[in-house]
Amino acid sequence: MKSLVVNCFKKRKLTNDVKDVHALKNINVDIRGGERIGLLGHNGAGSTFLRTVAGLYPISSGELKVEGEVRSLFDLSLGFEQDATGRENILYRGLLLGLSPSFMHEHAKKIIEFADLGEFIDYPIKTYSAGMQVRLAFSISTSVGGNILLLDEIIGAGDAKFMSKAKQRIAQLIDQADILVLASHDFHTLNSLCQRGLVFYRGEVVFDGQISDAVNNYKKINGLS
């Protein structure tokens, strides 16, 4: 819109600088219950795949079928109202996640205790540090049920004390999840948590198999030792 207005005032010929970018194409993947899948790829292919499964990105062709409740851990600060308090944002983020106000009120106490923000829970979000915002968002997101767990990297969430709690909670979520899909470039984490790996190259899945073989394939494609 800004470009259109500026170009109109300058009386210059308009050019279309916007081009379609296909982060994913020709994807044909079937994920079944009990699977632990790692995603490897450049240019946000793994993250785009996760957000598509979560319903945040629409598909331009084909079919996407998800059976089960999705719990996604990415874009943690998405949906925060900066002028509202932390307590109010618990409700707002819950609504964004498709949850009822009654559900969020019922779980608010546990969310607040886990975030451990003290009196700041009743301060506006705009007064929070980045770490405090992540702690509150993490606490809210991991309090939501779901049997399909989507993780974009392993999340860093504040100081060492909170990180310890966060790692324990993530481990619990992984154990409880029927399906885990993790996008990461941490080979050790992928090998320890996943059994199956998908490698993306130029938007397409070029390998689908054992996670150790997937890591080796990714390294080979990218010239890594």
Domain that holds residue 100: 78-145
* 139 shares its domain with 155: no
* 129 shares its domain with 36: no
* 151 shares its domain with 224: yes
State how far the alpha carbon of 80 is from the alpha carbons of 45, 84, 93, 128, 161, in Å: 26, 8, 7, 11, 24
Pairing label, strands 70-73, 196-201? unpaired
Compute how many other C-beta atoms are within 10 angstroms of the C-beta atom of residue 167.
14
Residue 161: burial class (beta carbons within 10 Å; 0-12, 13-18, 19+):
exposed
- Reported confidence tier of residue 110, pLDDT bands at 50, 70, 90: very high
* 61 shares its domain with 101: no
Q: Among candidates 221, 183, 200, which has minimal Cα distance to 23?
A: 200
Residue 37 in domain: yes
Report pLDDT digits (tens) over 30-76.
999 999 999 999 878 999 999 999 888 888 889 999 999 888 887 67
pTM for the full predicted model:
0.78
> By 3-state DSSP, what share of the chain in percent is helix, strand and coil, each rounded to 5?
45, 15, 40
* 155 shares its domain with 225: yes
Pairing label, strands 196-201, 36-41? parallel
Per the structure, the count of domains in the chain is: 2
**CATH number (domain holding residue 202):** 3.40.50.300
Residue 119 in domain: yes
Residue 132 and residue 118 in contact, taking contact as beta carbons nearer than 8 Å: no
* 214 shares its domain with 121: no
Interval 150-162 mean pLDDT: 73
Residue 203 in domain: yes
Pairing label, strands 70-73, 36-41? unpaired
